[in-house]
Amino acid sequence: MKKFNEKLSGRVFFILALSSISMLALITVFIISRGVPLIANVGLKNFFGMTWAPSRGLFGITPMIIGSVSVTLGAAIIGIPIGLCCSIFLAEFAPVRMREIFRPAIQLLAGIPSVVYGFWGLLFVVPFIRNYLGGAGLSILAGSIILGIMILPTIISISEASILAIPKQYLYKEGALALGLTQLQTIRFVLLPAAKSGIVSAVILGIGRAIGETMAVIMVLGNSVALPTSVLDPVRTLTTNIGIEMGYAKDEHQQALFATGIVLFIIIMILNSTAQYLTRRKR
């Protein structure tokens, strides 16, 4: 009976794991089988062209790729430094009392629906930009600010956890302090390198969340399909392209949105592979 239980539990775990990855396979197959025919039909030159006008047979997604990259970059510039500093604060500086305020606060920040951020951005950030910086307000900057805030919980919680997870029995910190390093030097030369893989994955997950966010940015980006010339210009990202046109798309147009999905997919894969390569090489 005991042995049977042993074998069974192993099998069950294996089957559960197998079904989980077959989900990825299923999604991949579906998205690709819907999107690839269009790319094959219109050609790579059209697909990676500069003009998106599905009703006229033009499916260029370059403006959207540039949109995604610029907004994500903006979000990273805002979110990563603040997030990392905050996680160091929580792991090393925060008085116990403050930590007790922060933890649930960050949990809450992570839980707020993205549409609420978008709505707040539309009523708070967009008018601010329009009145003080110019333009229509719906812009890369507005999107970057909203996304920068939205990726904070991801970055903070994962990097804090990885700093705290450094095994105390190695006496990293105590040893370093004994060697006469200051607290900041200890953080910089001992804790951060030791927590690097967690921090890298925090940053990459954060960036992934920024690239993948749809509803919040639909509300604040303006969704133009032209190339932006400044951070005050409206842009459209790959995700908003799908989100905004899915309802109205048919036939080739719908396939083109799936093809947009493929591009998103590839970007995420590249990000993940890079992350895994970096973390593995370090070990």
CB of 213 to another protein, least distance (A): 7
CB of 113 to another protein, least distance (A): 4
- From candidates 156, 202, 203, 231, binder to another protein by CB under 8 A: 156
Q: Does 274 bind another protein (CB under 8 A)?
A: no
Q: Does 63 bind another protein (CB under 8 A)?
A: yes
Q: Which two tokens stand for residue 51?
A: 């003009």
**Site residues (CB under 8 A) for another protein, limited to 193-212:** 204-205, 208, 211-212
Q: What is the DSSP letter of 235?
A: B
CB of 45 to another protein, least distance (A): 18
Q: Which two tokens stand for residue 217?
A: 């940015």
The rounded distance, in Å, linking the Cα atoms of 43 and 233 is 29
Q: Does 242 bind another protein (CB under 8 A)?
A: yes
Q: Does 160 bind another protein (CB under 8 A)?
A: no
The rounded distance, in Å, linking the Cα atoms of 138 and 131 is 12
The stretch near another protein (CB under 8 A) out of 9-17, 41-49, 69-77, 172-180 is 9-17
β-bridge partners, 209: none
- From candidates 40, 57, 77, 107, binder to another protein by CB under 8 A: 107
The rounded distance, in Å, linking the Cα atoms of 224 and 271 is 26
SS3 assignment, position 50 = coil
Q: What track of x and - describes contact with another protein for positions 32 through 61 (by CB under 8 A)? A: --x----------------xxxxxx-----
What angle, 0 to 180 degrees and rounded to 10, lies between the N-to-C axes of helices 2-47 and 251-282?
A: 120
Q: Does 192 bind another protein (CB under 8 A)?
A: no
Q: Does 159 bind another protein (CB under 8 A)?
A: no
SS3 content of the chain, % helix, strand, coil (to 5): 80, 0, 15
The rounded distance, in Å, linking the Cα atoms of 283 and 249 is 47
Dihedral, 180, 181, 182, 185 alpha carbons, nearest 10? 180
Q: What track of x and - describes contact with another protein for positions 71 through 100 (by CB under 8 A)? A: ----------xxx-xx-xxx--xx------
CB of 175 to another protein, least distance (A): 19
